[in-house]
Chains A and B, each alone.
Chain A
């Protein structure tokens, strides 16, 4: 409440410079040739419009002040003039032709994704991104980070301002090398999303069943933030994008580190062995938080407009085979997780769901059983 008052006072106090500091009024110049083209064009059109506006409105206000009845103005009777009409048709037309030239050039530049150094396949999900580096054999999901996610809940009581990069932070940023032409291939798994990082200078829709192409050659190392830019349902506002651009060596190091971590994790996970129920529940809780809680509530209750309750649900506590089938192959509305989760993950999350939220099935599901469904 105090912060609201404070801000209101700032606003009413004609915005002292301190407050203006973190205000961005204009388009970003960004860090790619594409974004700078966009910025330059933006400024060009803005100035053209401003000048035309000033001219037109000046003439209008001049006559409003001088040709008013209260000043004794007498109405003239002219009502056409072919000459001026031709002029004010042609002049705007020529201005537009003048604008179209640089715009065409910029557009051709954007659409030229040939000769890229590397490609990343970006898949939009409700409500997270999946990145797959086609050459480097790296892939992972990326979603809103835990701090923002907690603070953004209705009535969370947390002040968003206290969370760093509120709503613009993810668990796994997408790392790219600077100075390299990176091709982004966008597609989606469920509905249309759009991948947008302003500093890179474009957004491109991620359309289920189709792949789109765009590219960026980032010139400066840094963290660049963006958001999903196509309404994609309930949590459309909560699927940010973080691009972490690093020098090529740092990028290579990151790839190596990523692979090493993955190998280490794989060692610990043997789907063939027998797993204890507690083990499964613990791991299942993590999988649930990471993958299911996008739609189902964290406490398993129903989410309006998204997913049904898992507490005491007929399917959850019903026949195990049906449940495995549902999670692996999905329904019309829920994704098929078979392709996204390992046998262990699926076994764990199902065991977790049957033994949490007040559910008490008291049984467990072994990864080997899941393997039979593949």
Chain B
């Protein structure tokens, strides 16, 4: 918007920006490269990596612009609310993305596995083709293991998963602590709270990797172990990916807190990341209950 305007504009509309188109090209290269690598074409990986680099540059550049505009005080409170709505609906869309995988888990546990094992309304018919298969959850025997390797054991909830639950719950508390500190202009509290959250986040990721190691080596549980392994890795994998992203974003926020970017009135970025963090927290609770425990 014209800076020559005598009045302060009621709303800040950014000037044209190169980043969206860079982002579109980056996304395209990533997808195109990934598709080619799945087709075993030689250059697929390279193209994909170029795409990812372009995306990183885009994110860097775009956020730098936003941060410098924010720091320059160009954003009115109304802009802040736009950002908030944007973040809220983005999180809603993420919730629905996970819902698809939870739906798959529930469907398999409630319907397909019992049916295949001869139970439920459609069960008796399935005895015709799977006479030998008995349904249990988690699935250690498969209807047909010709091309699949069933798992040899079940991941219990009370070891690492429980520890991870406590870690994430604590990190939810520490990020709230940081928020309170921010609101009360307690810089040290803010930085300490954030630093703790980041640390807990990365510890979670590390423990999750350990857990995967156990699962694969001791229990032979992989994505190819039938529907138990498939849902297990799909749900925990996407969750772990989100935690990693969240932890990286928290690190950026930590850095910005150290640089003094936030004030009690103006700290949308902080809140957005905190919301996101609570969201991955809640998803984990769902995972803990339905994937590990029940």
Contacts and interface: CB of A to CB of B under 8 A. Distances in A.
| Complex A–B touching at CB under 8 A | yes
Interface of A: 121, 185, 187, 209-213
B270 interface: no
Contacts of B130: 209
B116 A121 contact: no
Contacts, number: 21
A185 B116 contact: no
Contacts of B129: 187, 209-211
A213 B116 CA distance: 15
B1 to A, nearest CB: 39
21 contacts: A121-B128, A185-B125, A185-B128, A187-B128, A187-B129, A209-B116, A209-B129, A209-B130, A209-B143, A210-B115, A210-B116, A210-B122, A210-B125, A210-B126, A210-B129, A211-B125, A211-B126, A211-B128, A211-B129, A212-B125, A213-B125
Interface residues of B, number: 9
Interface string B124-148: 0110111000000000000100000
Interface string B11-55: 000000000000000000000000000000000000000000000
Contacts of A185: 125, 128
A114 to B, nearest CB: 11
Pick the 10 closest A-B CB pairs, nearest first: A211-B125, A211-B128, A213-B125, A211-B126, A211-B129, A210-B126, A187-B129, A185-B128, A185-B125, A121-B128
A196 B212 CA distance: 47
Interface string B92-135: 00000000000000000000000110000010011011100000
A211 B127 CA distance: 9
A6 B128 CA distance: 53
A210 B144 CA distance: 13
Given A210-B125, A213-B125, 9 more contacts: A187-B128, A187-B129, A209-B130, A209-B143, A210-B115, A210-B126, A211-B125, A211-B128, A212-B125
A251 B219 CA distance: 55
Nearest to B128: A211
A213 B122 CA distance: 9
